[in-house]
Amino acid sequence: MRKRYFLLVLALPACGTAQTPARPPEVAQAQVTALPTGDIHDFDWAPGSWTLANRRLKARNVGSHEWEEFLSYNRTTQYLGGMVNVDQMDMPSKGFSGLTLRVFNPEKRQWSIYWINSKVGRMDPPQVGGFTGNRGEFYGEDVDNGLPVKVRYIWTKTGPDTAHWEQAFSYDGGRTWETNWMNDLTRTGR
């Protein structure tokens, strides 16, 4: 029980909430066990260099349909026999970079995906989940412009050298989702 409580407290401050859990840890744990599970080999395809064709919504949570498009470049490396992988995404036209840390928990059979933006310099709360076949789903909570949001990442392996990723936010507790960033990845070298 202590381990679950610690993980819940660790995630709450990053979401902009109080230090004390708003609900008993048992409720939070029930939600965690409902998340998709996966395998340590879910991201075995990812190491290497990639070019990403990005589409990002210009304004979130206002019904916008205007997208900006830009290229970014990514290099992914695996560690600890595939249990951890790290990638750095450089976005020259945007003036910042990002780092993704993915960690596999073999007991829960789930990945935790953390994002660090070079403009902010802090690790965002994790998205947790795994792959079923070529589709991975990962869920978490964060804050967007002062509003609490549920966050969803969807990864789709579309071939040995191609993949698709998208991020969506829900401002209503997960009833509706607004996709706000997606990219198509193409391997640039093995």
**Percent over 70 (pLDDT), the chain:** 82
Model confidence pLDDT, tens digit, residues 14-61: 333 333 333 333 223 333 347 899 999 999 999 999 999 999 999 999
Alpha carbon distance 124, 174 (integer Å): 19
| Overall size of the chain counted in residues | 190
The residue assigned the tokens 């019904």 is: 63
Distance of CA 97 to the CA centre of its chain: 15
Distance of CA 70 to the CA centre of its chain: 20
Contact by Cβ (8 Å): 54, 74: no
Token output for 68: 């900006």
Which residue, 181, 182, 143, 178, is CA-closest to 61?
178
Domains of the chain plus CATH, in order, are 1-34 (no CATH), 35-189 (2.40.128.20)
pLDDT tier at 170, thresholds 50, 70, 90: very high
Question: 72 pLDDT exceeds 80?
Answer: yes
Q: What are phi and psi of 89, to 5 degrees?
A: -110, 115
CA distances from 31 to 27, 39, 85 (A): 7, 19, 25
